[in-house]
Amino acid sequence: MSEKIRILGLDPSLVACGWGVIEAVGTKVSHIAHGVVRPPVKAGLPARLNSLYDELANIVQMHAPDSVGVEEAFMKNNAMSALKLGHARAICLLVGTQAGLSVGEYAPRAVKKAVTGTGGADKEQVAAMMNVLLPGCGVAAGDAADALAIAICHAQRVNHQTTLKSRRARSAPITPHKVAS
């Protein structure tokens, strides 16, 4: 029998950091909450990072997840944007680690494939699948939908790892046969 696990998914950004909380029991997932953290855009980088950390720490305290999934960074054309995204990712990783939670990291294509079946899905397709997989969540395309998708991707990985551990625990140790001489 699978245990219930609460997962926080994070879509890192210094502008609009999406978050989503789900509960998973085996392959069944249910929506708990979602939203977007918007650090003050006119503040300096240290203040924005601090604001992001504080908001995410409050979400962790409020929703008490067992584990966190964070989207990996990807490089487009702007190196400065990628660097800022890296700072936001660091805060997302840190908030989970500081809370003593296990943290998984997932490539954007892996997240999309986990929830839509294709790694090339667009944001509208991801949001549509979130509304199918998590009935009643009413999430629109964007950062919160992506965060819920990250949480589901993480739940699939955690479920897979739990299944493997369970199978290993149930299998009897291999003992060599003695050959009669």
Catalytic residues: 11, 71, 143
Sheet containing strand 17-25, strands side by side: 28-37, 17-25, 4-11, 67-71, 102-106
Q: What angle do CA 122, 71, 53 make, to 5 degrees?
A: 125
* Pairing outcome for strands 17-25 and 4-11: antiparallel
Which backbone phi and psi does 75 adopt, to 5 degrees?
Answer: -100, 125
For residue 63, CA distances in Å to 32, 55, 100, 119 come to: 8, 12, 14, 29
Q: Are 57 and 95 in contact (CB under 8 A)?
A: yes
- Residue 92 neighbours by CB under 8 Å, 6+ apart: 10, 12, 17, 56, 68, 70
- CB-based burial label for 61 (10 Å; 0-12, 13-18, 19+): exposed
